[in-house]
Structure 1
Amino acid sequence: MMSIVVNLQHFRWLVPGFVIVGTAPCYLAAWGAWRLLSAALPHRIYQQGDDTLWSVYQRLVLFFFETYSGTEIHLYGDVDSLFKKKENVIYISNHQSTVDWIVINMLAVRQGMIGHIRYVLKDSLRYLPMYGFYFRQHGCIYVKRDGKFSKNQHTVERQLERFKKENTPVWMVVYPEGTRFNPNRPEVIKQSKQFAKERGLHNYEHVLAPRMRGFQISLEHLWDHVDAVYDVTLAYSHSIDPQTGERIKSPGMPSFLTATNPELHIYIKRIQVEDVPRNEGCLKSWMYERFKEKDLLLSSFYGSSNKGCNQRFPGPSVISRLSVRHTLPSFLFCCSVLVVSLMTEVGTAFYWQMALYGSITGCCWMAVTS
């Protein structure tokens, strides 16, 4: 019996995966209807409706990653800034797992900004079925690995300027490392160390050397629109090999959802935007210093585990629990829409057509406009 329970534990991610991905065609249909209805209205009205829809969907996601999973979240640093008031921010963080994207939701919902998240994304994600097309409509920006923009720079700048012109609330998310830190990819870590060595930088052990382009252009065009930069350092429990004491790959979404009592440790540093240098050379030095601090924090986190202590960052922490009222209504609503869509022959046919043709049309549109 015990072995059956353990085996079933490994499949706890199936229901969340089915609901989150399964409701995407319904979401795309709702977004498309709103896009048509708001076509004759000012763009800021469309944006407000779009942000509301995105908030509902992301709260559904959070239902599984907080309520369903029983995640315990430890917050360190400038925690009061998160709860004090709503702010427009540029969010930077170390990047090590697909769950990092969910952590953004976890923090934004606590400030009432979950519908206003935008991302600087890798260019390859533009062809992600349904999501790639929608992210562009939501105001996200695609950047190639070499730091060049997948569309002409004028289009990117116009999108950022629109946020400012229409006074759109925004959390602009940038992962300066460009790719995830993964101990199973030593060649990527080696390249990062070589990059840092050639420039006389800190010898990064737990992060990759940061790149600048996405953050730089976001800062340049949102300078007088955002209030602060949220510099976030993230660590996962159970990311140390108990036998060797070495860091292992951080859990992906399925692994995180099947883990027993997962913990997240999040260190927040709020930096007033006026304190961020705008000169390119100074900005590079500033970013390298931010990631040096992250590396030292993570070294402390993983070092404490090696000494037999509980993994944690230095300083006091707050355990933050999200009330079910923030996620359950979205879960019930989205599941109801999904069930109703699949209950009739017409609804089922429309659902699969939206999934198929919506994906094809979105990918074609992204290819034509690249």
Structure 2
Amino acid sequence: MVSLEKLKQLRLIHLCIAITFFTSGVCINLVQLLLHITVKPINERLFRKLMYYLCYSLYSQIVFVADWWAGCRMRVYMDEEDRRTYAGNEHVLLLMNHKYEIDWLTGWMICDKLGVLGNCKAYAKKPIRYVPIIGWGWWLAEFVFLNRNFDKDKEIIAKQLKVVYSYPDPTWLLLNAEGTRFTQSKHEASVKFAEERGMTPLKHHLIPRSKGFTASLATLRGICPVIYDINLAFKPTEKTPSTMLSLLNGKGVEPYMLMRRIPLEQVPEDETEAAAWLQKLFVEKDRIIDSFLETGSFFEKSGVKETPSELLKPRLSSLINFACWVFVSLSSIFYYLITSLLAANWTAFITASSVLGLFYWLMGQAINKTQISKGSSYGATSKSFASTSPPASTK
């Protein structure tokens, strides 16, 4: 008899997950487009209310894989008063370290637990909006897409932030200030850049690119009250790699996350001083991660005030959402396959089978894109950190 652990590793099961996600994704994208055409021109508030549920229905399927399929359990550290009073009840700009293949997913997991998953957005590279399902969904959900050309991007930022924070419900916008995911070669370039500019080299982060952050501040003031600093880590003793492939195979991991609420008025208004503030924050973030990796505690060696932790449980809504899409997607697909086969309609049968093969291939491509080894070369040389304004006072 096949064990549950072995069952979760079967390609047939992975195909069913892929069918569910991509079939539902196409449906959701079509409804998103329909809302853009019919509802948005008449009532933007209603459009954005409805968009929340569509985005939630798509994103929570990936959260289901982490929470229910793989059995991940996230431990979150946050000030008790901030957690009880503010978390999930206000617009937020997120600053998060970008080191792990599933750091984006852990962000979705905490957003789900706090009830803001449908309104979580990000600064993203412009080419992503052309990627089927996720990219199309992000574009239709009004993400901030950038060209990595500051002269063009500062205009996009000023315009799009007003759109993002006009949503009627709390919206969380992620800014990966490091600009790209941490790799050894990029880290070496970051250290070289810091040493050349008299800055503090970072052990666990790349030097943040401050221009995008400082360009956002003028627009953020008055429409987004706070920054949430997120520090994500996995214990060095964790035996399961923190990858999407691990989760798909039903092997869970335990993310640890320290969240700190920083009112935006604490960030200086002057651009140079704001850039220095960001650099100082990342020096502190580096101490926090260093402390965790050495001692298992974010606080013991970092000098940061200790806050209580909570082991977050999965929400039933992500399970119900996925179960509904499984029923609709698989029953429709297999009904079509069986009726085509019984009617000897070989063209329809081969077409449907090809679509299933395409879905499985797309799932493999999506997993590959999350792998650090498949990341872009952006940030691999010290010259690529030119968008960082390096205040000498940060050393």
TM-score (norm 1): 0.79
- Provide the residue aligned with 1:159 in structure 2: 160
Distance 1:175 1:130 in 2: 22
Q: Is the 8 A contact 1:79 1:268 kept in 2?
A: no
Larger Rg: 2
Aligned length: 336
Paired AA for residue 122 in structure 2: Y
Distance 1:259 1:199 in 2: 45
Q: CA deviation at 1:198?
A: 2.0
Paired AA for residue 59 in structure 1: S
Could you give the per-residue CA deviations for residues 310-366 of structure 1, whole angstroms, max 9, x where no partner exists?
Answer: x342245423233442312211222233235423379x87x96xx99xx9xxxxxxx
Paired AA for residue 267 in structure 2: V
Query: Which has the larger displacement, 101-110 or 204-213?
Result: 101-110
Distance 1:31 1:166 in 2: 16
SS of 2:200's equivalent?
A: coil
Q: CA deviation at 1:238?
A: 4.7
1:290 aligns with 2:281: yes
- Provide the residue aligned with 2:65 in structure 1: 64
Query: Which has the larger displacement, 292-301 or 73-82?
Result: 73-82
- The verdict on how the C-alpha distance between 1:99 and 1:135 changes in structure 2, with shifts beyond 3 A counting, is same
Q: CA deviation at 1:39?
A: 4.6
1:313 aligns with 2:304: no
Query: Which has the larger displacement, 84-93 or 212-221?
Result: 212-221
Q: CA deviation at 1:227?
A: 2.1
Spell out the pairing of 1:100-139 with structure 2 (5 A cutoff): 100-139=103-142
Equivalent of 2:227, from 215, 226, 229?
Answer: 229
Paired AA for residue 332 in structure 1: A
Q: CA deviation at 1:289?
A: 1.1
Q: CA deviation at 1:19?
A: 3.4
1:23 aligns with 2:33: no
Q: CA deviation at 1:46?
A: 1.1
Paired AA for residue 223 in structure 2: H
- The verdict on how the C-alpha distance between 1:275 and 1:281 changes in structure 2, with shifts beyond 3 A counting, is same
Distance 2:311 2:4 in 1: 29
- The verdict on how the C-alpha distance between 1:126 and 1:164 changes in structure 2, with shifts beyond 3 A counting, is closer
Distance 1:16 1:45 in 2: 31
Spell out the pairing of 1:81-100 with structure 2 (5 A cutoff): 81-85=82-86, 86-100=89-103
Kindly, what percent of the aligned residue pairs are identical? 23
Distance 1:338 1:64 in 2: 17
Query: Which has the larger displacement, 26-35 or 112-121?
Result: 26-35
- Provide the residue aligned with 1:34 in structure 2: 35
- Provide the residue aligned with 1:200 in structure 2: 198
- Provide the residue aligned with 2:290 in structure 1: 299
Could you give the per-residue CA deviations for residues 287-318 of structure 1, whole angstroms, max 9, x where no partner exists?
Answer: 111111111111112212xxxxxx34224542
Distance 2:32 2:329 in 1: 15
Distance 1:23 1:293 in 2: 42
Q: CA deviation at 1:136?
A: 2.0
Q: Is the 8 A contact 2:235 2:293 kept in 1?
A: no
Could you give the per-residue CA deviations for residues 259-300 of structure 1, whole angstroms, max 9, x where no partner exists?
Answer: 744110101111011111221111111111111111111111
Distance 1:116 1:312 in 2: 31
Equivalent of 1:142, from 136, 142, 145?
Answer: 145
Q: Is the 8 A contact 2:95 2:228 kept in 1?
A: yes
Query: Which has the larger displacement, 124-133 or 100-109?
Result: 124-133
SS of 1:64's equivalent?
A: helix
TM-align CA RMSD? 3.4
Q: CA deviation at 1:111?
A: 2.3
- The verdict on how the C-alpha distance between 1:286 and 1:170 changes in structure 2, with shifts beyond 3 A counting, is same
In structure 2, list runs of 5 or more residues that go unmatched.
Answer: 300-305, 341-347, 363-395
Distance 1:180 1:31 in 2: 30
- Provide the residue aligned with 1:178 in structure 2: 179
Distance 1:98 1:49 in 2: 30
Q: Is the 8 A contact 1:82 1:110 kept in 2?
A: no
Distance 1:218 1:141 in 2: 11
SS of 1:121's equivalent?
A: strand
Paired AA for residue 53 in structure 1: L
Q: Is the 8 A contact 2:190 2:206 kept in 1?
A: yes
- Provide the residue aligned with 1:50 in structure 2: 51
Paired AA for residue 137 in structure 1: L
- Provide the residue aligned with 1:334 in structure 2: 325
TM-score (norm 2): 0.74
Q: Is the 8 A contact 1:75 1:318 kept in 2?
A: yes
Equivalent of 2:254, from 244, 249, 263?
Answer: 263
Distance 1:234 1:212 in 2: 21
Q: CA deviation at 1:49?
A: 0.8
Could you give the per-residue CA deviations for residues 78-128 of structure 1, whole angstroms, max 9, x where no partner exists?
Answer: 354244341100001000133111122222223221111111012342332
Spell out the pairing of 1:66-81 with structure 2 (5 A cutoff): 66-78=67-79, 80-81=81-82
1:211 aligns with 2:209: yes
Distance 2:276 2:253 in 1: 35
Q: CA deviation at 1:252?
A: 2.4
In structure 1, list runs of 5 or more residues that go unmatched.
Answer: 243-248, 305-310, 360-370
- The verdict on how the C-alpha distance between 1:337 and 1:40 changes in structure 2, with shifts beyond 3 A counting, is farther
Paired AA for residue 245 in structure 2: P
